[in-house]
Structure 1
């Protein structure tokens, strides 16, 4: 088959081509978002690159989840532009967009008691009718193994604990195999072991060439696993760069309105952020 025709063969959908490491997977240019009377994002500029883990951090209300929703094209912007895979996000059809980005929201609720394996399989829906549909079984099995949910594949999703639901929801996103992963607080309901597991998965996906954007409240996790951290404050980017460069006592203390101490881990050198409780 002609390669160009192959890209359009799946019900008229253009399949995503691989993005070279370091190339933009998504871009945010001058983005502003208002919710009611509140300016939640203001003139945000950001490039997300293939092969990196980018952490969005900042206090409650800083605009992290709103920025992630705008990146996903789930929330319209009032100004500026979001581009995914080189094209304005709103120029992609919904099926084409689903091939390019996978989104993990903060909460995962289902109205029906689907078995866990069926929930994970929902992530494969965008590939129905494409040449990559043949990957469904492998993608589902791999995602469940990575998130350690295989052992309860047959259990109803509604019968799971909060942490188990969070891991199943992540497995669904991983099974989608989109090159841009947008994860909103994926560690919030998890124990220590599974927090580390999720961030190791993020690193593995970046190593495989995906772009991963993850909203985190745990600055230690962001410092340990992110290539870049974006610190949001009042709807704007206060600073962006490698965590070792941007996580400073002064900046974090001002943004979070809580004195902190930042010092390198004695063995790894990764920044450790500790509240200064004596102040």
Structure 2
């Protein structure tokens, strides 16, 4: 096989952008057990996300949000059920196949060597080495640095950055990976108010451009404002799944979070507000 033929073959096998509404990631009857635990961390979870939508996973601590995201990413082996990526079981994909189809932003952002921020973002392009899409590397890295507002940090060592700066650089790495599906675990946790809004706008923009986005959030206000669907997890099970206005109700949230919650419309904009009741 000639070099050109090999490149053509690899490009022919590269994933294509799914049409809007096409399910890219699906879980059926998904359970995840932890050794020695009295009950599964997840039990019988059905879930899917389609191109063009943002799905927020919410729920109290220990509800199973990050566990579900890790199982969807193929980083946790389910004890029951199955996960499909682009219509095929995760076990049928190689690690490289999956890296070209979904990008994962973990909660923690550690790098063992003093790479610069730009070098960390460039790591997102690793799945496309030796494909014709490598020609897009510089443009996508620059666009990701700009989108995550970290251009000014490009030359700085990653370990020297603040927690919020590292979180934004890690997000830029995921954006540079340029996959049809994004899995983001608490991307706003270390960020100030302005950057929290910017990250969720980025997620919404990616979905509008055709990506499928799953994001773990603690801020129910952000979920109400930016998610197309909200999945509420309670003790490892799905308590509700649907549009924010259908799912984020006073009764459900008060029960799930075991704290009084008020859901109301903003008096000027009409936007849905989710607030804890304080004495």
TM bucket normalised to smaller? over 0.9
Q: Is the 8 A contact 1:57 1:231 kept in 2?
A: yes
Aligned-residue RMSD, C-alpha: 1.5
Q: Secondary structure at the match of 1:237?
A: strand
For 2:145 and 2:96, locate their aligned partners in 1 and report how far apart those are by CA, in whole Å: 24
Cα pair distance change 1:6/1:214, threshold 3 Å: farther
Q: Point out the more displaced range, 262-271 or 231-240.
A: 262-271
Unpaired segments of 5 or more residues in structure 1?
none
Q: Which residue is equivalent to 1:62?
A: 63
1:30 aligned residue: 29
2:27 is equivalent to residue 10 of structure 1: no
The count of corresponding residues between Structure 1 and Structure 2 is: 273
Q: Deviations over 1:70-89 (max 9, x none)?
A: 00011111111100011101
Q: Return the alpha-carbon distance in structure 1 between the equivalents of residues 244 and 106 of structure 2.
A: 24
In structure 2, what is the Cα distance between the partners aligned to 1:116 and 1:123? 12
Aligned-residue offset at 1:10:
2.5
TM-score by length of 2: 0.95
Q: CA offsets per residue over residues 47-73 of structure 1, 9 Å max, x none?
A: 111000000000000000000000001
Q: Judge conservation of contact 2:7–2:131 (CA < 8 Å) in 1.
A: no
Distance 1:90 1:204 in 2: 30
Summarize the alignment of residues 141-156 of structure 1 with structure 2, pairs less than 5 Å apart: 141-156=142-157
Q: Please state if 1:270 is matched with 2:271.
A: yes
Alignment of 1:220-235 (within 5 A): 220-235=221-236
The Cα shift of 1:167 comes to 0.1
Partner residue in 2 for 1:129: 130
> Hey, what does 1:218 align to over in structure 2?
219
Deviation string for 1:144-187 (max 9, x for gaps)? 00001001110000110000000000000000001100000000
The alpha-carbon distance between structure 1 residues 7 and 44, as it changes in their structure 2 partners (threshold 3 A), is: farther
User: Deviations along 1:85-144, whole A, 9 cap, x unmatched?
Assistant: 111011100111100000000000011110110000000000001111100001100000
Q: TM-score, normalised by structure 1?
A: 0.95
Per-residue deviation at 1:8? Answer: 7.0
Is contact 2:7–2:132 with CA below 8 Å preserved after alignment?
A: no
User: In the aligned structure 2, how far is the partner of 1:215 from the partner of 1:240?
Assistant: 14
